[in-house]
Every structure is written in C-alpha cells, then in structure tokens.
Amino acid sequence: MTPKEVINFAKENDVKMVDLKFTDFVGMWQHFTIPLSEVDEGFFDDGHGFDGSSIRGWQPIHASDMLVIPDPKTAKIDPFPEAQTLSLICDIVDPITREPYEKDPRSIAKKADSYLKSTGIGDTAYFGPEAEFFIFDDVRFITTQNQGFYQIDSIEGKWNTAKDEAPNLGYKPRYKEGYFPVPPTDSLNDLRNEMVMEMERIGMHVECQHHEVATAGQAEIDLRFAKLLEMGDNLMWFKYIIKNVAFRNERTVTFMPKPLFGDNGSGMHVHQSIWKNGKNIFAGNGYGGLSKEALWYIGGILKHAAALCALTNPTTNSYKRLVPGYEAPVNLAYSSRNRSASIRIPMYSMSEKAKRIEVRFPDPSCNGYLAFAAMLMAGIDGIENKIDPGQPLDKDIYSLSPEELVGVPSTPGSLDEALCALEKDHAFLLKGDVFTERVITDWISYKRTKEVDPMRMRPHPHEFELYYDI
C-alpha cells in the first residue's frame, strides 16, 4: 500500500489508533501508539521521534534522538487492542543524516537483500522457519542475591499424572512422545487453531500446526516461505500473535530453546533458497538434486557455523539444547533426508521449485532479521568462494561412535564460545556494509555483559544438589 492507501484503509476500517512497532537489537518488538488524527501522508516521510538510549543495546544518552519511519507496505489491523488499531512496522533512521540506523535489525535485513542482488548470484532469497515453542499453564521464577528458582507447569505435563486435579483425566503426553497424538492427549489443538486463524486474519500464510515431541505443550506452527524481509516481519507477528492468543486464554508461551530438563528443546529449522529471474538456482543435478551453487552455499554455512551461532542461537539457554548425544543437530554435516545432520536437504518433492536446504541448528530465541541476514551472508560467501562442503553424512549421526565422529566439527558448547567465534570470524558479514564492525562489537559486548557474565556469576540451583554437602 501507498501512504494514501494506508490512510484510506484506516478510515474504511474505522481505525482509531495507530501502533508503531519496531524491533530492538535483541529481537523483541517495541511500540508506541498515536491517534489516527496524527497521521497524514507526510508522516510516512517525517516519521516520529523517540529516545533511542532507552532501547537495549542502542544509543548512548548523549545521542539518544532517533526517528521511526513507518513502512506503509506493512499496514495491518492489529487483532488484540480493544480500540480498532492499525499496526505499522517501522525502520529506524538517524534524525540528522536520515541514514538507516546501523543497529536496526530490519535495516540489516534490507541491506542483506540488496547485497545479494549486487553480487549477481540471485535477486531473491526465500526463508521458511519452523519455530517451536512451549505453551504452559503457569510459570514462576526469581533470582536475587540469596535465592534463585523457576517452576513451570502444564496440565499436559507427564509429571502431573499423579496430581489431584479433581479429577485428573490422564492423557498426558509421555516424555519425548508428544509428536502428533490426537486429542484428548493433544489438549491444545483448539488453542493452536486459534493462533493460526489470527495469523490468517492479518494475511499470513500458514502451512500447518501440530503438537511437538516434548510433553507439557510443546508446539509448532509452520509459516509458508517468504522473502527475507517479509519473513523477518512475519516472524515478529508470529511471536506476537502466539503470545497474545495464549495470554487471553490464560496460558503463557515461551520461545526459550530449553525450558524443560530431560525432554526435547525448541528449535527453529530454517529452509532457504536463492532465486534469480524466477528460477531456483538451488535446483540441479548434484547430490540431493542440488546445484553446485547450493552445495557451495552449504559450504559457507558449515564454514561459518560457529560464528553464526552467536546470532542464530543467541542465548545462554540455547546451549542447553545444543548438547552432543541428544536430539539437537550439533554435528556440522549435511545430508539428504537425514534429520540428525545440522543441514538437511528435504526430499518431499523433487520439483525444481521445492528444492532448498534446511539449516537445523538455529532456535526461536533469535532475532529473525539478524539470523536470516547472517545465514544468507555465509551462504553467499560460500558461493563466491566455491567452498566445498565435503562429503555428505548419510548415517544416523547419533548412533556413530566417537571414533567415527572424529573430523566432524560441532556447534559451540556455550554462548561465550559462539561469541568468541564471531569475534574471530565476521569478515563475511561486513561485505556490502550489511553488518558493521560496530554492530558486531556491540552485539558481542551486550551479550557478554548482560547475559554471559550474569549467568557465570550466579550459583545454579542444581549446584546445591551437587555440592552443598562438600
């Protein structure tokens, strides 16, 4: 839509308020709301000022003034506010230079898209994330100087089979057996359907929804693939809708990768392909029906995987999921059909249009704009430098002995390791000024000071189990 069309759309839908949404450095939506009377066509050029120093990881207080510039193409009716509200996703610009703000995740995604076009490799990158999450009935947590605990609960939790629920009706998914049971064992089908219907109401294309492997309400809703920037926007709407539908049903959702001990964590497998002039350049006659460009793309992802993890798996909790020997795809290898590899080539269809790769180590705690942009940059680096991905690994990796796994690298074991890898290996991200040195150094600094160090300095509840009586 054009600015004029947005204003007409708002009037036709009896809009009262306009919500301006933007994504912070970490990857969460921020917003403020203005009355429709404040919006005219010039508003889409002039934007609206705000304090950038109050946003995590952004401006210092002595240079805090920033502008949000709404993108008219993102106009949608927000399904949750009581007053009829038009939602606009915004870009962030410097109020003096009017240049895109280098730490605005959406601007980084735009630059990655532009860089792809500038290389001549392709003109469109498609991404299709499969974001998993948990739906809980109750959550409590606190950390102070003298205590630290969390407690989560779900009527579906296998641990509740003996609980007096007046009455307890059973039908609770066993650990690691939550994949695809019908109701009543799957007690959340209606809630997931409600989430899907809200997504479709605002124009999102959903492919399917289902219960996931873990007990206690693990779920997955799959979005149809879209262009990089559009998918970044869609992932923000995805999380917003899921959380708000759960909230109005007195449930709570988390995209933490590993909220439960002893059961599956939540990943976000990301399907991706590059197209040029309407043709999928990943389709070919090589292994798994891939082109040489697709295999080089895989080579780039594998080469830079450790650094990528700092952006695709950006929390300390991410590495509770990425543990060797368990369900997560930590071994940096590729294969067709094999879900134990960190990169899979889906074989559902052999048509050229469907040919893609699936990167399986990311998780849904990531900032989608940054994660998609970073993977694209790694893949482009692979194509430009013709990086050989090596031989595919078509065996069940989880069943291989340590001797057989010698020479197969794995993902980092902690966020700090991933940040160290990003510190050493980020030149591929700087091409085309997509990421900048400041973005990389500020990301590493923020993650170390705000997340790694606070976790490192706190005693863990399980340490009392292990060591209190020493």
- Burial of residue 449 (number of CB atoms within 10 Å: 0-12, 13-18, 19+): exposed
Residues forming a β-bridge with 254 = 134
Options 104, 212, 263, 363, the catalytic residue: 212
Tokens of 38: 């404040």
Nearest to 110 by CA among 99, 97, 95, 96: 99
Q: Would residue 220 show up in a list of annotated catalytic residues for this protein?
A: yes
Instruction: From the candidates 113, 220, 233, 381, give the one annotated as an active-site residue.
Output: 220
Report the C-alpha gap between 125 and 420 in whole angstroms.
Answer: 28
- Per the annotation, the verdict on 51 as an active-site residue is yes
Q: Is 448 a catalytic residue?
A: no
The residues that bridge with 22 in the sheet, in sequence order, are: 30
Q: Is 12 a catalytic residue?
A: no
The answer to whether 174 is a known catalytic residue is no
Gap between the Cα atoms of 387 and 198, Å rounded = 42
Active site residue 132: yes
- Output the six-digit token pair for 6: 């947005």
Answer whether 214's CB lies under 8 Å from 175's CB. yes
The answer to whether 18 touches 38, Cβ cutoff 8 Å, is yes
Q: Is the dihedral of CA 370, 269, 411, 300 positive or negative?
A: negative
Amino acid at 149: F
358 catalytic? Reply is yes
DSSP 77-112: EESSSSS-EEEEEEEEE-TTT-PBPTT-HHHHHHHH
The Cα–Cα gap between 2 and 145 comes to 53
Does the active-site annotation cover 403?
no
Out of 31, 48, 210, 339, the active site residue is: 339
Scanning 249-282, the segments in alpha helix (DSSP H) are none
> Active site includes 177?
no
> Of residues 104, 360, 363, 416, which has the active-site annotation?
360
Active-site residue, from 269, 271, 304, 426: 269
Between CA 173 and CA 332 the distance in angstroms is: 31
Q: Which of 5, 41, 51, 423 is catalytic?
A: 51
Catalytic residue among 78, 91, 130, 198: 130
Active site residues: 51, 130, 132, 212, 220, 269, 339, 358, 360
